[in-house]
Structure 1
Amino acid sequence: MNHDLFEVEILRASRLRLSQLIDTVNHELLFTIPENFNNNIIWQIGHCITSQQRHMYMRSGLPMHISQEFMETFKIGTSPGSWITRPDVHEVKHALLFTVEQLREDLKSGVFVRYKPFSLPIGIHISNHLQALQAAIFHEAEHSGIIFSYLKLLQK
């Protein structure tokens, strides 16, 4: 297994866990914003998908595998308070797993050729698609921690 694909397996394992959460948690809880917070669980999940797509595909000059509307709903700086329509849980769940499988295929086929470097707010410089994938795993781990904290707060 090449290094890129190992990274995808880590991302896939994390996303399977989130997919299972979507399947087992009351859907209203997915949209409930815990007291003193700005976002909810479904925003956290959609945000992870959007960030990975933007940082890997958009910066590589490739089309993202999410709609413009999906991206606008979950990009950094948004929150459920800015939503015009409530996101579809099934669309989010589909994107959660589909984008990882598509990423695996795209890495195997070698579509990631160019990359427009950028720096993350935490001071890390990303200069290629593999670094973007590694950063996505870190980013999603942070948001997964937030998601499971939200869940504990909401299930009290």
Structure 2
Amino acid sequence: MNWAFDITLKNRAVLKSFIESYTLEELNKIPKGFNNNIIWNIAHTIAVQQSLVYKLSGLPPVISEEMINTFKKGTKPERDLSQAEVDEIKGLLFSTIEKTKEDYDAKIFTSFHTYTVTTKNTLTNVLEAIEFNNFHEGIHLGYILALKKSL
């Protein structure tokens, strides 16, 4: 299981590097032909991880419901984010995964609501949710790389 968390943390380090390498304006820019931006994709990975792991387990997420609703599947940027919001997202990249690992090790994930994802895979337990989350974050890393070329 540590392997799955290690993958997530390595991907999150890459996402953090985008926050540190681009200006606030670049992070918020929606290039022509796209419907979202770099910072939305980064925040989206945090919101979806919390939904897949905590909400499907019937547990309260570590982040606010407002953040989940702003960046969940089917949303898009409605406004530019402030530097303070970007800083908060940057901090959540690692704290959410560290908390998830702590909670997983403490065995608090005792139930799970079966959920079929867009790829038609059905998640039946928290381990599958954690593993699927890595696939999901990889998709958004690829999307960010495409956005980066369009800045």
Distance 2:145 2:24 in 1: 15
Match of 1:67 in 2: 64
* Aligned residue pair count: 149
Which residue pairs with 1:31 in the alignment?
28
Alignment of 1:89-100 (within 5 A): 89-100=86-97
- Which of the residues 98, 101, 113 maps onto 1:101? 98
Note the C-alpha offset of 1:11. Answer: 0.3
In 2, the alpha carbon distance for the partners of 1:5 and 1:106 equals 13
1:149 matched residue in structure 2: 146
TM-fit CA distance, 1:147: 0.4
**Structure 1 stretches of 4+ moved >6 Å:** none
Give 1:34 deviation, angstroms: 1.1
> What TM-score do the two structures reach when normalised by structure 1?
0.91
> Which piece of structure 1 moves more, 16-25 or 51-60?
16-25
Matched, 1:110 2:107: yes
Secondary structure of the 2:150 match is helix
Question: Structure 1 vs Structure 2: percent identity of aligned residues?
Answer: 36
Unaligned runs of 5+ in 1: none
Match among 34, 38, 47 for residue 41 of structure 1:
38
Specify every segment of 5 or more residues in structure 2 that has no aligned partner in the other structure, as ranges.
none
CA RMSD in angstroms comes to 1.2
Normalized against structure 2, the TM-score is what? Answer: 0.94
Three-state SS of the structure 1 residue aligned to 2:95 is helix
Residue aligning to 2:128: 131
Q: What SS does structure 2 have at the residue aligned with 1:10? A: helix
SS at match of 1:65: coil
Cα offset, 1:86, TM superposition: 2.8
